[in-house]
């Protein structure tokens, strides 16, 4: 399976419409890939909080339209990163979209863990409730977004639902880049799964982005890693490595669930 992660810069100075066209043409350039992955909130930037409401779109809005066409023109599965979604009841969500090679919307995932504590996404957006997997030929994707990477229980829920390739679009800041790399490897090792984590380059809303999109195999080895700038990171994965790793080192089978809390 060939996967291409498109690490684009989300800088002010480029309009959302221009970026949408640029990203669609970058997706089309990946003909031959089986799966193309984009970052989190690449229309606005993950830290451009004032833009969320202004650029919010319904699930079938302009990004859906452009990315569905890009997926079908490319003939690849497309994890189109996330958009600020305006739900029919007016609530905003940070929602990832996955398209099939024929351009059908195969899945939408509303980010469960919202970042910002008492500001930003955490107060402006609603929280998703549902873990989402997507069946592809040869592997099952488990969907997570950026800050979700810090919450291993979500990834365990995805693995329990059959996920073998964990896809994490992000807008991770440079300031905590060491966490990004460490957590991507940790999620791969503990879940014995591929991790495809696609971040952004550039600076928006005064927040320099980490870039460093990364692909990790089920043994925790880094197969490919980008630098800080714009880059398409292309890797050939053998999805069969997940079953081999889980079979040869069957740690997932030793999980103990429902532990008693410590006695006082």
Ligand X SMILES: O=C(O)CCC(=O)C(=O)O
Least distance to ligand X, CB of residue 180, Å = 7
Give the single-character DSSP code of 29. Answer: T
Widest pairwise Cα distance in the chain:
62
Cβ distance to ligand X smaller for residue 75 or 126:
126
State whether residue 254 is helix, strand or coil. helix
Known active-site residue 146: yes
Site string for ligand X, 86-115 (x = CB under 6 A): -----------------------------x
Q: Which of 191, 151, 143, 148 has its CA nearest to residue 172?
A: 148
- The answer for residues whose C-beta is within 8 angstroms of residue 88's C-beta and 6 or more apart is 58
**Residue 2 is inside which H or E element, if any?**
strand 2-7
Q: Among residue numbers 174 through 193, which ones bind ligand X (CB under 6 A)? A: 176, 179
User: Can you tell me which of 142, 171, 211, 218 binds ligand X, judged by CB under 6 A?
Assistant: 171
Residue 173 half-sphere exposure, CB side, CA atoms within 13 Å?
A: 12
Q: Which of 97, 100, 102 has its CA nearest to residue 77?
A: 100
Sheet containing strand 35-37, strands side by side: 105-110, 92-99, 77-86, 35-37, 2-7, 231-236
Q: Among residue numbers 19 through 48, which ones bind ligand X (CB under 6 A)? A: 46
Of 111, 121, 164, 198, which is the active-site residue? 111
Cβ distance to ligand X smaller for residue 47 or 77:
47
State whether residue 233 is helix, strand or coil. strand
Least distance to ligand X, CB of residue 140, Å = 24
Q: Contact between 119 and ligand X (CB under 6 A)? A: no
Stretch that binds ligand X, among 19-27, 74-82, 145-153, 193-201 (CB under 6 A): 145-153
Known active-site residue 111: yes
User: Can you tell me which of 28, 69, 150, 241 binds ligand X, judged by CB under 6 A?
Assistant: 150
Of 55, 121, 146, 164, which is the active-site residue? 146
Known active-site residue 198: no
Q: Which active-site residues does the annotation give?
A: 40, 111, 146
Residues near ligand X, by CB under 6 A: 46, 115, 146-147, 150, 171-173, 176, 179
């Amino acid at each position: 399976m060939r996967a291409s992660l498109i690490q684009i810069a989300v800088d002010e100075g480029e309009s959302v419409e221009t970026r949408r066209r640029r990203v669609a043409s970058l997706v089309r350039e990946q003909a031959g890939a089986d799966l193309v992955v984009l970052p989190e909130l690449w229309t606005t930037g993950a830290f451009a909080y004032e833009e969320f409401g202004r650029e919010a779109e319904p699930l079938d809005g302009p990004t859906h339209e452009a990315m569905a066409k890009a997926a079908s023109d490319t003939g690849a599965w497309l994890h189109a990163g996330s958009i600020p979604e305006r739900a029919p009841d007016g609530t905003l969500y940070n929602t990832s979209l996955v398209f099939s090679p024929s351009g059908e919307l195969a899945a939408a995932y509303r980010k469960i863990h919202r970042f910002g504590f008492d500001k930003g996404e955490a107060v402006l957006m609603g929280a998703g409730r549902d873990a989402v997997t997507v069946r592809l030929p040869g592997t099952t994707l488990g969907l997570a977004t950026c800050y979700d990477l810090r919450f291993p229980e979500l990834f365990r829920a995805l693995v329990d639902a059959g996920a073998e390739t964990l896809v994490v679009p992000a807008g991770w800041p440079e300031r905590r880049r060491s966490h990004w790399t460490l957590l991507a490897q940790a999620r791969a090792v503990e879940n014995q799964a591929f991790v495809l984590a696609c971040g952004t380059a550039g600076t928006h809303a005064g927040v320099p982005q980490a870039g460093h999109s990364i692909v990790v195999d089920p043994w925790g080895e880094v197969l490919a890693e980008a630098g800080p700038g714009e880059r398409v990171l292309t890797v050939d994965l053998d999805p069969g490595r997940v079953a081999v790793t889980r079979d040869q080192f069957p740690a997932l089978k030793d999980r103990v669930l429902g532990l008693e809390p410590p006695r006082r």
